[in-house]
Amino acid sequence: MSHVQCMIGPSILNSDLSNLHSESQNLLDSGADYLHLDVMDGTFVPNLTFGHPVVKCLRNKIPKAFFETHMMVQNPQQWIEPMADANVDQYTFHVEPVDNVPQVIRQIKEAGMKVGLAIKPKTPVDVIAEYIESADLVLIMTVEPGFGGQKFMQDMMPKVKWLRENYPTLNIEVDGGVGPNTIDECAKAGANWIVSGTAVINCPDRKQAISTLKSSVQKYLS
């Protein structure tokens, strides 16, 4: 599996959002490979976070880092242009509310961003199988989307395994309850993009937390 790269992307959702810039910079300085920005609209999920105006301001302060927006929104099509304008690198959206997935994929690419396809725990992985070849990444949610700090759902690992077996070069991301205690299971199943929120944010040594996640994934990659 050495043809995929290990990437650690902390979620800033549970950080001190009044200090979004310094928190994000601190995570990058602690070894984060990218920033996972959780966008929620209060409709697709029962929570509200921030949108493209905030992401754009953050981008002005942090011009170089890889930004992934995890779009937990009812109408992902609506935010493609504004997020591209905010210089987002990867637009990861949930397929559940979308009628025409290929069209959304095409629009994201035309806007110059990479495409991530996300599924909630109750969505079977075969729902996205026909779109995988045209995506850059698949995100397997390991909690119900909406909140940080929830318990990791181990029973999502068969989805990750299935993807890794069938798509050896695919970037597979896991998100929700992932930290030093659950990373081995994710890595063993074949995940190579790792989102970790509270486990990194609340750790007194964020550098150490990120490096633990990285070594686990690398152990299974080689």
Q: Residue ranges for the binding site for substrate?
A: 11, 70, 146-149, 177, 197-198
Taking the complex as a whole, how short is the minimal distance between the CB of residue 43 and ligand 5SP, in angstroms?
14
Judged by beta carbon, residue 6 or residue 186, the one nearer ligand 5SP is: 186
H helices present in the chain, as ranges: 20-29, 52-61, 80-85, 101-110, 157-166, 183-189, 198-201, 206-221
Name the one residue in this structure whose structure tokens are 């209060």. 42
Q: Is 126 a catalytic residue?
A: no
Determine which one of 41, 89, 136, 175 is catalytic.
175
Residue 12: closest CA among 26, 182, 219, 66: 26
The residue nearest ligand 5SP at its CB is 197
Taking the complex as a whole, how short is the minimal distance between the CB of residue 195 and Fe ion, in angstroms?
6
Which residues line the annotated binding site for a divalent metal cation? 36, 38, 70, 175
Judged by beta carbon, residue 23 or residue 38, the one nearer ligand 5SP is: 38
Residue 191: closest CA among 177, 175, 207: 175
CA 58 to chain centre: 17
Q: Which residues bind ligand 5SP (CB under 6 A)?
A: 11, 13-14, 36, 38, 70, 72, 143, 145-150, 175-178, 195-199
What tokens appear for 81 in the block?
């242009």
Which residues line the annotated binding site? 11, 36, 38, 70, 146-149, 175, 177, 197-198
197 touches, from Fe ion, ligand 5SP, none (C-beta below 5 to 8 Å by class): ligand 5SP
- The answer to whether 141 and 120 are in contact (CB under 8 A) is yes
CB-CB neighbours of 51 under 10 Å: 19
Binding mask 164-193 for Fe ion (x = CB under 5 A): -----------x------------------
What tokens appear for 156 in the block?
């999502």
| Three-state secondary structure call for residue 93 | strand
Q: Is 33 a catalytic residue?
A: no
Q: Measured between alpha carbons, how far is residue 66 from residues 3, 20, 51, 174, 205 in Å? A: 20, 16, 17, 17, 22
Judged by beta carbon, residue 174 or residue 187, the one nearer Fe ion is: 174
Taking the complex as a whole, how short is the minimal distance between the CB of residue 3 and Fe ion, in angstroms?
25
Determine which one of 38, 41, 89, 136 is catalytic.
38
The one-character DSSP state at 151 is P
The residue nearest Fe ion at its CB is 70
Residue 39 exposure: Cα atoms within 13 Å on the Cβ side? 28
Taking the complex as a whole, how short is the minimal distance between the CB of residue 179 and Fe ion, in angstroms?
14
Q: Which residues are catalytic?
A: 38, 175
Site residues (CB under 5 A) for Fe ion?
A: 38, 70, 175
